[in-house]
Amino acid sequence: MTDHDLPETGITPGGTSGAFRDVLSKDHARRGKPPAHFADMDEQERIARAAELGLPKFRVRQLANHYYGHCDVNAAEFTDFPAARREEAAAAFFPELIHEVTRQVADEGMTVKTLWRLFDGSLIESVLMRYPNRTTLCISSQVGCGMGCPFCATGQLGLTRNMSAGEIVEQVRVAARAMRDGEVAGGPGRLSNVVFMGMGEPMGNYRSVLSAVRQISAMPPEGFGISARNITVSTVGVVPGIRRLAEEGIPVRLAVSLHAPNDELRDELVPMNRRFDTTQVLDAAHDYFLASKRRVSIEYALMRGINDQAEHARQLARRLNHYGDNWAHVNPIPLNPIEGSRWTASDPEDERRFLEILHAAGITATLRDTRGQDIDGACGQLAAKER
Ligand code: SAH
Ligand code: SF4
């Protein structure tokens, strides 16, 4: 399959600076593909691969049941397989795509951040956050990111490549298995939510992300059975991606990383704004709400003295209320400053005022928690350090 090098990868912020040209040329230098994995194959490809191994079609269904139903990839667990064929089948369908490099734990074991190495040495990360009534996994969809948001650690890395559907889905399988087996503090449980808020811009890797969404949400043996309503796709505001996702008719939640209520400020904080401005982004987000009937999350990293003043909150409220009531939910989050950055987190006073102004304007908003801050919890910071 050609999950990589999709045309969407070419979407970069307008006004290509030298840095963006670098990112583009790096992306175009193809480095080979990850080994073919069960999660990258459609039904026909699986059947064909099985036939090459001399396995009949029904074995594919058994493998799907192992993979999605039981999160198993180990030959020893394929007890319904002829003993002599187990190893071969596991090797052919389930090559190791993500290898644990390090794991950091915080919040008394309720937050687990894992750094993974991919087949080509690329590093990506995922973060598991356990709460009393849900467990959320934050996953990566690209190695680095080409969108260049200056406050974001992943943005500083540039884009190396898109991840394959298998590489994305494997993060989910491993976490679902760890939860089930009681390997996360709090005892056995269930992975209930998945957010595409790790490294990368999901809309820049649309096809693999969509394939992953389908595999995460389908019921076993087609997928892991995590309801699409509990999956969030977060975008910097790639408008064609938002519109395409709306047409899929899958009830995933959309999160839009706005971070600024006007174009002048957003041009600076989110370079992609020069390509798709706040009006285009909010129009698309509101259309997504109309199509999906699901409230859109507006992500807003509060940066001291930059975008966290009363005037910004008022302007944000005005821009959102322009479309009507109750279609958006704002998630302000104190910026997690990256090393060497000129931006820093807001004063708690300013955060409070920001929220109050939104609430007074009838907008629902909750301060997003900053889980795992002591383990470099924000987007891409662990992988950035490791390099
Ligand atoms: N590229 C997508 C998804 C990955 S980033 C997007 O931008 O939406 C996930 C979220 O983390 C985004 O809302 C992003 O703006 C935010 N983020 C990035 N760096 C951050 C930082 N240093 N502090 C707080 N939030 C950050
Ligand atoms: Fe990419 Fe999102 Fe980071 Fe911006 S915030 S650089 S879009 S990962």
Considering the candidates 8, 125, 299, 351, report the single residue annotated as catalytic. 125
Question: Is residue 376 within 6 Å of ligand 1 at its C-beta?
Answer: no
pLDDT: is 238 or 381 the higher one?
Answer: 238
* Residue 26, pLDDT score: 42
74 labeled part of a ligand binding site? no
Distance separating alpha carbons of residues 308 and 244, to the nearest angstrom: 32
Looking from the CA of residue 200, the nearest atom of ligand 2 is 8
Does 387 have pLDDT greater than 80?
Answer: no
Ligand 1 midpoint to CA 257 (Å):
7
pLDDT over threshold 90, residue 340: no
Question: Going by CA atoms, what residue is nearest to atom 20 of ligand 1?
Answer: 152
Mean pLDDT of 358-364: 98
Nearest-atom index, ligand 1, CA of 299: 13
Residue-wise pLDDT tens digits, 85-138: 999 999 999 999 999 999 999 989 999 999 999 999 999 999 999 999 999 999
| Position 305 confidence tier, pLDDT thresholds 50, 70, 90 | very high
Cβ atoms 354, 312 nearer than 8 A: yes
Per-residue CA distances from 57 to 85, 262, 292, 386 (Å): 14, 56, 37, 43
pLDDT, position 384: 53
- 177-181 long-range contacts, CB within 8 A, separation 24+: 177/71, 177/72, 178/112, 178/128, 179/128, 179/135, 180/71
- Set 167, 170, 299, 379: catalytic member: 379
The pLDDT assigned to 19 comes to 36
pLDDT of 17 reads: 36
Structure token pair of residue 23: 């990112």
Q: Is 125 a catalytic residue?
A: yes
Residue 273 assigned to a binding site: no
138 is catalytic: no
Q: How many Å lie between the centroid of ligand 1 and the Cα of residue 24? A: 21
Copy the structure tokens of residue 235.
């975008």
Sign of CA dihedral 150, 152, 157, 163: negative
Cα(261)–Cα(263) distance, integer angstroms:
7
Amino acid at residue number 153: A
Average pLDDT, the chain: 90
Does 201 count as an annotated binding residue? Answer: yes
The residue among 169 and 379 whose pLDDT is bigger is: 169
